[in-house]
Amino acid sequence: MNTFRTDRELLRQCQRLARSQFPAICQPRPAQSHKGTFGTLGIIGGAEGMAGSVSLSAVAALHCGCGKVWIGFHQPTLPLPLLTQQPEIMLATAEHLLQRSDISAWVIGCGLGTHESAVSVLKSCLQQHNIVTLLDADALNLLAQQPDILAGRKNKHNIILTPHPGEASRLLQCSISEIQGNRNQAVCRLAAKYNAWVVLKGHQSLIASPNGQVWQNNSGNPGLATAGSGDVLAGIIGSLLAQQIPLEQAVYAGVWLHGTAADILAANEIGPIGLCAGEIATAVRWLRNRLSETN
């Protein structure tokens, strides 16, 4: 069990901010709850050699409060019988997971790969299921190569894209320096081009809605510049979406929770140097519980 120390005034500031901007994530759990109350997240990715990416995402989703989490590995057979560090997470192949009808939200792309079979999996997820879907990592690279992947989507407003500057440059067919030179313009262009919610990751990540409204996140520190951090963010946002947090609050709050968790870890001498992505999840769990305290 992880117990974190933090300045009381800082914690009060976090509580005030969250309760005013993301009230849906601050509600205490009803006494008569069950695992189905808090949704089921499906995470698809983890091609051969990339099982760690979806595992990080799934663990973060579970610690952020999702009722049930499935991983769908983009492999012919399961690469492992269970996640030994988190056996509560259920495993399937991507093909079998896509056949389920009880998924509340999808995250796709973490370690998915970019082969033709990955294109097929992405298209199946987007066209067979019209529920809220977050595209990250390789799903964004495939979208950059084939923008018409979204053409058959009935409701594009429930699509979230979470590119880092390199992925954003491919999506907009421009240089990374152009993205970084005017991040505000870049995130708006992405939201308009794909008619989707966009999180442009990086220092002070930017979020744009499909109608062009932009919000800047001010939490976080350089400790988040580590392998797997983006996978964790995808899992956090996906978890909130599966819990039926309104989409706008889920995206904003997910980015803020991710950054604030890193700040809490740094305050406890866990980073920023050497902070590991797998350490973020427990700080997110601790923070969500502090936010739901009634006193």
Q: How many CB atoms lie within 10 A of CB 99?
A: 11
User: Which string of b and e fits 255-264 if b means at least 16 CB within 10 Å?
Assistant: bbbbbbbbbb
What is the maximum alpha-carbon separation in the chain? 53
Between strands 214-216 and 197-200, the pairing is: unpaired
| pLDDT at res. 4 | 86
Looking at the DSSP bridge assignments, the partners of residue 134 are: 107, 160
Rounded (10°) CA dihedral 65, 69, 74, 79: 110
Global pTM value? 0.97
Q: What is the DSSP string of 41-59?
A: EEEEE--TT-HHHHHHHHH
- pLDDT for 184 equals 98
**What pLDDT does 11 receive?**
86
How far is residue 198's CA from residue 202's CA, in Å, rounded to a whole number?
Answer: 13
Q: Report the pLDDT value the prediction gives residue 294, as an integer from 0 to 100.
A: 67
Other residues' Cβ atoms within 10 Å of the Cβ of residue 47: 23
Q: What are the per-10-residue average pLDDT scores of the chain (295 residues)?
A: 76 92 95 92 96 97 98 96 94 97 97 96 89 97 94 80 98 98 98 96 97 96 97 98 97 98 95 97 96 79
